[in-house]
Structure 1
C-alpha cells in the first residue's frame, strides 16, 4: 500500500465536519479506530503486532528479543481540532519507508519496529506524552491514576472502558533495553525549512518547556448590582497576566501562551469566583525560560494583590532541554549527506515529542518535513505530497543505514 493510499485511508478518522480539524483523544472511539488502522497495516505487512503495558502499539520485523532494534514511528492522537500531519505523518511514513526498503531488497541485520505512542498530545488528561513517559519511568502508575479529563473521567476508568488494564501501566525498562535507536519523523512545527528552502531537516534539540496552572480566586457577585469598586474580580488579574506573558516572552526571545481557561461560575451576569488559566512557555535555554515564567508569576501576583485576589501557581509538567544523541544525529547526517541529494539542515524546535522523552533512556533522533505555512495544532497544518515523499525516502535511507549495516 502506497503512502498516498494509507494517508487517504487514515485521513477521515476522528475528523470534525464542523472545524475540519481532528479530535483523536486518548481512549475514545476515534483513538480505537486509529489503533485498528495501525494493527491492520502491521498485519498486512506480516509484522508482529503487540500492545505494551502502557497501551503503546508496536509492529515488529525480526526478533525483538535479539535487541539493538531500530525503531521508528510517532503518534496518532491529536490536540482539539488539530491538523492532519502532527503525529500521523511519522507513523504513515514509517510503514511507507518499510515498503521502500522491501522494494530495494534491503537485508536487515537488526530488528526493526514501528511504534504508535499513546496519548502524546495530552489533549484529554492534560499531560503530554503519557505513553512514552510511563514507559521511560518519568510518570508513575500512581501519578497516572490521578489524571482526570474535563468530564471528571479518570485515566484508569477511560482505559478500562477501552479494554485496557490500568493496573498494568508503569516503567518498561525491559522493552527499552531492546532498542538501539529511535528515529521519529515529524512535520515541522514552524517555518525554518520553508524559509531555508529545504524539504527535510534534522533535529538538534528540543527547547525546555512546561505547563503552569494559575488559579485566580476572587468573589462571585451580581454583575448588575455590584459596584466596580466593591468587586474582587479574578478575570481582571487573569487578563492582565495574559498581557504580561506576551511582554515577558518578547523581552526574552521566548514564547508564552495562555491557551486554556476555565471560569466559575461561568455565568454571563456573574462576577467570577475563580479563573483558572494554563500557561505554556518554552525557550531556547533554561535561563530564558526561568526568566519568562518568573516574570509572568511576579506580574500575576502584583495584579492579584491590586484586585484583592488570591493566587496559586502550580507547575503541572516540565521537560528540560533535550539534546538529541550526538553520535546518532551525526550518523543520520552522514547517511543523508552521502546517500541522497537532499540538503539537510540541523535545527532546534520548541515542540515536545516522544523522542525527547525517550532520549534519557535510549539514543534518539528526529527528522522534520517542511511545513509551508509553519502552522501546527490547527487544520491549516500542511505539507506537500512531494515533501512527504521526500521524508519517506529520507527515513528509508536512515533505516537502511542503521538496520542493514
Structure 2
C-alpha cells in the first residue's frame, strides 16, 4: 500500500470528505507528476499523447503491445481506490515481473487516462473517448467546468495543443490488448479478484427547467412559475422508473440564481441512467422525460433535455477473457458491472479485459470506498501473471 500512501494527502476534500481530483486541475497535475517520477524511477519511458493521456513504456513502443493502467482523477469527494488502485497496481505488477526476471517479448506499457470520471467537464472517459474518436476534439474542447473554463483552455494550460487533439490511430494501432485493474464498485465479489464480463448501457442527461424568478416572500403561491417543483417531481420519477435492474440517479441539482429567499428562474438537473441494454436504458429515460415535461407544463414552466454522454452495453473480448482466466488458473469468477470505465470505451476498438479487486464495503464514489491490503496484493499478483502471460 506504500504507493497509495504516497498520494494519500493529494486532493483531500475537507468539505465533502474523500478526494476531489479532476482533469488538468492543480491536484491532477500533481498526481501526473508523481506518476511520471515513479515510472521513470523504474526505467520506464514516459510519453504523453496528444489528448493528454500518459503512457509509460517498458521497451520501445510498437504494435501488439500489452497495455494496462487506469486513471488518477476522481468524482467530487470520491474514494482513494477508484482509479489510483489500477495505476499503482500496474507499477507494482511491473516490479513483480522484473523481480521474476521476466523479459517481455512484446512491448508493455501503463496508460493513465485523463478525466475518466467527468467530474470537471461532465463527460466521462474523456481521454479514451478522444483517443478512439468517440467524441470529437471540437466537442470536447467546448466542454465547460463550473468556473467557466473550457476543456480546451485547461488542456492548453497543461501544455497540450487543442488543435492536435482527436482520434489517435497511431496509439490505437499499438494496442494488442488492454487489461485494466479496478476496485470493484459493488458487492459482487466474494473472492479477492474477479473478472468483468460486461458493462451496462449508460448515459448522462441534463434537464433544464425554466420558470420565472421572483421574491420568495412577496409572490403568492398562485402566481408562481417555480421550476424547482417540476425538478423535484422529476427526481421522484427517476426512482419510480428504475425497476427490473435499471438504475436512475440524480446526484446534482443547480438552481439559478440559488438564493435562499429567491424563487429560482431555472434549475439544471443531471440524470445518470443505466440498464442491461440500450432499449431498456432509453425506455427508462423516456419515462422520466415524460414525467418531467408533464410536471413542467403543470407549473407553467418549460424543460429542455440534453444528452451529454452515452455508452452502449459493453461485452469484453471473450478470447482475451479466456486467456486471462487460464493464466490465473481457470477459476476466476466474472461479473457484470454498472460502472463505466476507459476499458469499456476501448473495447470497441481493441481486445479489452478487466480485473476487479474485492470491495468489502460495496461502497464506491464515496469516502468509505475500501479494499483490504491482502486483496490489493492479490490484485497485483493477478495483474502481473496476466501481463506475463500476454507479453510472452
Fold agreement, TM-score > 0.5: yes
Match of 2:327 in 1: 335
Q: Does structure 1 residue 257 correspond to structure 2 residue 249?
A: yes
Shift of 1:260: 0.9
CA separation in 2, counterparts of 1:223 and 1:19?
29
Match of 2:265 in 1: 273
Q: Does structure 1 residue 246 correspond to structure 2 residue 239?
A: yes
Q: Does structure 1 residue 361 correspond to structure 2 residue 349?
A: yes
CA separation in 1, counterparts of 2:311 and 2:381?
31
- Give the secondary structure class of the aligned counterpart of 2:119: coil
CA separation in 2, counterparts of 1:240 and 1:263?
15
Shift of 1:162: 2.1
User: Among residues 202, 212, 219, which one is paired with 1:219 in the alignment?
Assistant: 212
CA separation in 1, counterparts of 2:359 and 2:74?
17
Match of 1:78 in 2: 74
User: What are the superposed Cα offsets for residues 191-211 of structure 1, whole Å, 9 maximum, x if unpaired?
Assistant: 111xxx211110111100000
CA separation in 2, counterparts of 1:260 and 1:31?
22
RMSD (Å), alpha carbons? 1.1
Match of 1:209 in 2: 202
Query: Is the Cα–Cα contact under 8 Å of residues 73 and 115 in structure 2 kept in the other structure?
Result: yes
- Give the secondary structure class of the aligned counterpart of 1:337: coil
CA separation in 2, counterparts of 1:96 and 1:253?
36
Match of 1:60 in 2: 57
User: What are the superposed Cα offsets for residues 252-273 of structure 1, whole Å, 9 maximum, x if unpaired?
Assistant: 3211011111111211111111
Q: Does structure 1 residue 142 correspond to structure 2 residue 114?
A: no
CA separation in 2, counterparts of 1:89 and 1:369?
9
Q: Does structure 1 residue 228 correspond to structure 2 residue 225?
A: no
CA separation in 2, counterparts of 1:118 and 1:270?
38
- Give the secondary structure class of the aligned counterpart of 2:377: helix
CA separation in 1, counterparts of 2:15 and 2:117?
21
- Give the secondary structure class of the aligned counterpart of 1:16: coil
Aligned length: 392
Shift of 1:163: 2.4
Shift of 1:17: 3.8
User: Among residues 42, 45, 49, which one is paired with 1:45 in the alignment?
Assistant: 42
User: What are the superposed Cα offsets for residues 8-38 of structure 1, whole Å, 9 maximum, x if unpaired?
Assistant: 1122111124444111111111111111111
Q: Does structure 1 residue 108 correspond to structure 2 residue 112?
A: no
User: What are the superposed Cα offsets for residues 222-257 of structure 1, whole Å, 9 maximum, x if unpaired?
Assistant: 1112111111111110101101100110x3321101
Shift of 1:160: 2.0
Query: Is the Cα–Cα contact under 8 Å of residues 246 and 257 in structure 1 kept in the other structure?
Result: yes
User: What are the superposed Cα offsets for residues 36-78 of structure 1, whole Å, 9 maximum, x if unpaired?
Assistant: 111111111111110110111011011213x100000000011
Cα 1:206–1:303 change in 2 (3 A) is same
User: What are the superposed Cα offsets for residues 104-130 of structure 1, whole Å, 9 maximum, x if unpaired?
Assistant: 112311110011001111111111111
Aligned pairs for 1:2-401 within 5 A = 4-65=1-62, 67-193=63-189, 197-249=190-242, 251-338=243-330, 343-401=331-389
CA separation in 1, counterparts of 2:167 and 2:346?
12
CA separation in 2, counterparts of 1:238 and 1:369?
38
When normalised by structure 2's length, the TM-score is: 0.98
> Where in structure 1 are there 5+ consecutive unaligned residues?
none
Query: Is the Cα–Cα contact under 8 Å of residues 16 and 76 in structure 2 kept in the other structure?
Result: no
> Where in structure 2 are there 5+ consecutive unaligned residues?
none
CA separation in 1, counterparts of 2:316 and 2:191?
21
Query: Is the Cα–Cα contact under 8 Å of residues 252 and 292 in structure 1 kept in the other structure?
Result: no
